Every structure is written in C-alpha cells, then in structure tokens.
Amino acid sequence: MRTNESPKPPLSGEEFLNFDEAVELLRTTPSTLYKWLQADKIPAHKLGRQWRFVRRELEAHMSGQALDGAPRARRHQEILKLAEFLSTRRVQISSPVKFASEDKMEFEVSQLAESLIWDAVDHQCSLIHITPRAGRYEVSYRSSQGLEQLTPLTEELFLALDQFWKTHSQPIHREESRRLHLLRENHEHNHQDVVQVRYEKLQTANGPRLLLRLWSAEKVAPQLEKAIQDESSRRTFQNWLKQSHGMIVIAGGPASGKTTTTLSLLRYLQEQKLAVFSIEDLAEILIDGVQHVELARRNSEAFSDAFERVYASDPDVIAMGMGELGELEPQALQAALRAAKSGHLVILHLDAKDHDDVSERLLRATGRDFEDHLIGISIQQLEPTGRGDERRARYHTQNFSKSL
C-alpha cells in the first residue's frame, strides 16, 4: 500500500482525520498504528511531519475487498453468528463483542479474530486448532480432556480470519510460522492484558490447518517472587544475580519448569537496568526489555554469527540454551565461558539430570577452566502442591563462586 507525501485535494464531503482520530476510528492503539504505517499497511498521507488520513480510505480499508449481493450477506451472517456465539461465552474481564455495519465487514473480521483469541485466554486455553473438515473448518481448544470442539466455520470466514492474522503478524524464519501480539484493557485489574500468539499453518491434503499457540508473559515469566516461591532458594538466586560476571546454570529434566525460571531471571535482570540478550533457536516467549536474538539457521556458523553480534552489542547478560542446543552445546558452552571470562553474566539453560551431569558436560566442552568462572548450578523439578493439578518447582542449588 503506497502512502502519499501530501494529501490529495478532498472531494466533496471528504473528511481528513489526524493521528488520534484515526486511532479512534480504527479502534487500535497508537503503537499499533505506527507499526502499520511503518509496514505500509494502512492508507495514509504525509503532510510535513504529520500523518493525515482520509475517512473514506480508512473505511474502505476496513471493509476489504467488496462483496456483492448474496455472498456478502452470507459472509455478514457468518460473522454475526460467530460474534454472537463468542458473546455468550464472554467472561467478566472481556469486552463485549459488537458487530453491526455491513459497510465495515473486514473490520468486523479483525475484531472477530481478536475476540476468538481472547475467548481462549479467558477460558484458560493456550492452544487453538482450526482444522479442515469436509468443506468447512472446525475450531477447537486444547484442554486437559483433549480437543474441545468449539464451533464450525465456513471456508470463506476461515480465509478471512487467516488473512487478518497473517497481515498483523511477523514471519519467524518462514511465512507459515509467524508471531503477533494483542493488547486489551483489563478494567477489573486496571492494567493491560498482553498475549503473544504463535501462528503455525500446515498444508494438508484436506486444506490448510492452523495452530495458534497463546502465551502470557505474566504466566510463563512471572516476577521472581512468584516464580521462585521458596524464600531460601530465591535468596540464593538473588545472590547469584548480584555477581558481575560468571556462569549460572538452570537445569532440570523435561517439563521441570526451568524455562519459566530462566525467563523470570532474565526479566529480573532487565528490571535492574542491565542490557540483557538471549540467543535462541526460536524465541517462543518474548520478555519486554530483553533482546531475543534468533538463529537464522541451526548450525555452527549461524550460532557463531549470532554470538559475535550479541557480544559486540555491549551486553551485561547473555542467555543461551532455551529450546534445545543439541549438537551446538559444546560451541555454546565455550562461548559462555568466553563471555564469563570477559566480564559478562551468562545464564545457561540446560536439560540435565543433576549437578554432576552439568559439570561433566562443561568439563568436556571447556576443560578445567570453567571451574573458576562458574557461579552456581540449579537442578529443579516440579512437585504437586496437593491443590488439584497445581505444581511447584523444587530447587537443588549448588554454589561454586568463592565469593558466595
């Protein structure tokens, strides 16, 4: 979409809007509108340093491609049907879902696409499956009982929702793996809710299939007091984090909660006004203030390139290992030791069974040199609390730094 340096002369009845008025008309946020302008996704006109918008152009953009007659009426009815269904499921903190004007059909689709995601969030579902089924699509939520079938979609409405999610997201390495963020006002708790959405499209013989994976940073990376509830363990971590340089290893088996611990540590460190970076194969969760650097490819050259670029960016903290290092582990451990020696704090996230396992792997990769630069190792596991399915991390920590 091409933006013009100066607005066209208004036609009879034409109305120009300033930036704030456009935000209100589009029912979005200033930051989102800036992103749309930078990505050239919205019709706009530059007048000096100011953006101006033509109401007619914005409304045409919101309505999308024109549909006439019966197809338009059918699509509008499908939008209203799904909107009404989601409204019946609305919980207290959600905003009402209102759709009325056929002249803003595409904008209604955008509201509907966001409402479906917030409905899943409000019902504590983190996975949305949209599956092709004999000429239509089925929306299901993943729950502890399996896939809960929610509602059918026509192919036309599925394609419209899919187009919205694609338009408002950024690709991760490839077009069919994408990431987007949604925000809404939570008036009950007087703050903004933020959800990170991972979009994955898979082409099947039955048609395209979507998986939307929903993350809340507040849940996956809470503040340190919530993430590490045992006071003694929390003091140990805080003492480790006071060190100016060295290596801290966060380890445990699969599904031990070590990712939550690691992300909470990174959140804590960036709140201390430190430059915090992570090097990851794929950043599933983005922490505000943490610079997540994803590998362009999963090989030694890509890791070396990412590390050197981070190393040259004046970091205070470098985290490595989120996901699975696999064959890159020796190289990552050597890079971690290099960073620790040169005055950086390094957080290593490893899948390891005990302290000896971690030490042996460090020894194989770096030799005895690591011993003078290791601050501590934490091995954790999740244990039931006795309250339903709730589990809490138990930490087995070992200090190595002589200053602790």
In this structure, are 299 and 202 located in the same domain?
no
Amino acid occupying residue 69: G
Q: What is the pLDDT of residues 331-374, one digit of tens each?
A: 999 999 999 999 999 999 999 989 999 999 999 999 998 999 99
Structure confidence at residue 141 as a pLDDT band (50, 70, 90): very high
Residue at which a domain ends, from 159, 188, 215: 215
- Nearest alpha-carbon partner for 175 in 202, 137, 142, 197: 202
Question: What share of the chain in percent tops pLDDT 70?
Answer: 86
Pair 89, 32 in one domain: no
Residue 194's nearest CA partner among 395, 32, 304 is 32
Mean pLDDT calculated for residue range 318-323: 89
Domain span at 134: 69-215
Q: Are residues 110 and 167 in the same domain?
A: yes
Whether 151 shows a pLDDT value over 80: the answer reads: yes
Q: Looking at the domain assignment, is residue 210 inside a domain? A: yes
Question: Cα separation of 256 and 253, whole Å?
Answer: 6
- Confirm if 387 and 288 have CB atoms less than 8 A apart: no
CA 86 to CA 97: how far, in whole Å?
7
**45 and 99: one domain?**
no
**What pLDDT does 209 receive?**
95
Question: Same domain for 245 and 207?
Answer: no
Tell me, yes or no, whether 168 and 268 share the same domain: no
Tokens of 167: 């338009």
- Name residues whose C-beta falls within 8 Å of residue 39's C-beta, 6 or more positions apart in sequence: none
- The answer to whether the CB of 302 falls within 8 A of the CB of 296 is yes
Angle (nearest 5°) at CA 60 between 55 and 61? 95
Whether this prediction's pTM lies above 0.85 is answered by: no
More confident call, 79 vs 189:
79
**Is there a single domain that holds both residue 38 and residue 91?**
no
Are residue 254 and residue 390 in the same domain, yes or no? yes
Which of 28, 63, 98 is at the close of a domain?
63
User: Residue 89 pLDDT > 90, yes or no?
Assistant: no
Backbone angles phi, psi at 23, to 5 degrees: -60, -45
Query: How high is the mean pLDDT of the chain?
Result: 84
162 and 110 within one domain: yes
Is the domain of 129 the same as that of 143? yes
Q: Which of 172, 198, 215 is the last residue of a domain?
A: 215
Question: 51: which residues sit within 8 A by CB, 6+ positions away?
Answer: 18, 19, 22, 37, 44, 45
pLDDT at 293: 94
Q: What is the pLDDT of residues 93-108, one digit of tens each?
A: 445 444 444 444 455 7
Based on the structure, what is the number of domains in the chain? 3
Whether residue 153 is found in the same domain as residue 28: no
What's CA 354's distance to the chain center, in Å?
30
Give the range among 16-30, 86-100, 134-148 with minimum mean pLDDT. 86-100
The reply to whether 157 and 24 lie within a common domain is no
pLDDT band at 137 (very low <50, low <70, confident <90, very high): very high
Residue 5 counted as domain residue: no
CA neighbours closer than 13 Å in the CB half-sphere of residue 383: 8
Q: At what angle do helices 55-63 and 19-26 cross, to 10 degrees?
A: 30
- Per-residue confidence band for 39, with pLDDT thresholds at 50, 70 and 90: low
pLDDT value at position 64? 54
